[in-house]
A and B are shown apart, each in its own frame.
Chain A
Amino acid sequence: MFGNKLEVSMYRYNPEQDEFPYMKKYKIEKPSKDIMVLDLLHLLKEEDESISYRRSCREGVCGSDGMNINGKNGLACITPISSVVKKNKIELRPLPGLPVIRDLVVDMTEFYAQYEKIKPFLQNDTTAPEQERLQSPEDRDKLDGLYECILCACCSTSCPSFWWNPDKFVGPAALLQAYRFLADSRDLETVERLEALSDPFSVYRCHGIMNCVSVCPKGLNPNKAIGEIKSMLLKNKKNIITSDGAHQ
């Protein structure tokens, strides 16, 4: 299927040893069956123990192993090599735009700082009911396509606007989560959340490039969520929630 040998070109950088990062080529025997990129990394690590990468659940749930595979961000654990190998070659790089700690491991501080900024938790200061805050099936449906995000950072690190302004532009992943709480009928801080996003950078720096939609391993659409936030910002904020807290 892939010839005799598979050539893997991998980004290598150990700040304790290397002055600059470099690409290292590995040649390994072709796998007898179609395996995931993460499995390929395990095979390489058996050959070279110095290779560093993050992984945890190995089934596309934890979001640890986001990386740039042949130029496109994705999760190594759910990306079959048959879908990315071209001419028996595969190139692995860390997620773009974030500082590299070592090899394929990036520093996610800027990414999480933006996530923290949108206050990713339910805000409702009314008296809590005995069991749980209920919502109608219709209101619950509004959260579909939003809550499934695993924060792998594939979308934000494929976004040029996030590359250039990671300290100011919230980025597609965090904006998807921002809308997840804006759309939640139980959250009552809609006006304050919108106020926090109303500057020229936080949301409006999104130019609809759509890389986020193209790479999301969960098939989500951050660009649509950003569009919804822009629509909410452009409306009169006072009309967004009524006095009883219900969203219009």
Chain B
Amino acid sequence: MKGSLIWYAQRYSSILIFIYVAYIFYFLFSFNGQISYFDWTMFILSFEMKAFTSLISLLIILHSFIGLWTVGTDYLTKRTLGFLNKSVATNANIIRNAYYFLFVVMGILYLIAILYIIWL
């Protein structure tokens, strides 16, 4: 995989996440504190916002995956774990793959939960 693809994915996902958060704050502050539960529900449950929230949820997972993958390839290697303990270092690949498996599973569960809440 090209490094530039990951670079773009991380930057563009963060920009879109920022726009999403900024848009929600803009909506909230546009009511000058007079927002009702009905107003909020109509806004967040509109089809456009449901789609936008679903997209952002996916991007949050992608963004997190890149960050956690970087952490894993930096700190869960034979070399780095070797500073702690030699026997731990010999199992570095297993530890790193278990770590990847854990956050991929968590990401999928998070996405399922979010999509379920939003759409069902």
Residues of A within 8 A of B (CB): 160-161, 164-166, 198-204, 230, 233-234
Contacts and interface: CB of A to CB of B under 8 A. Distances in A.
Interface of B: 1-4, 6-8, 73-75, 77, 79-80
Question: Chain B interface secondary structure, helix, strand, loop or mixed?
Answer: helix
Nearest to B6: A200
Nearest to B80: A164
Contact of A200 (B3, B8, B77, B80): B3
Interface on chain A toward B: helix, strand, loop, or mixed SS?
Answer: loop
Contacts, number: 37
A234 B7 contact: yes
B79 A164 contact: yes
B74 A233 contact: no
10 contacts: A165-B79, A166-B79, A198-B2, A199-B2, A199-B3, A200-B2, A200-B6, A204-B4, A233-B4, A234-B4
B111 to A, nearest CB: 24
A200 B8 CA distance: 12
B6 A164 contact: no
A233 B79 CA distance: 29
Contact of A198 (B3, B74, B80): B3
Contacts of A201: 3, 73
A66 to B, nearest CB: 21
- Interface core residue of A161, A198, A200, A230 (most chain B CB under 10 Å): A200
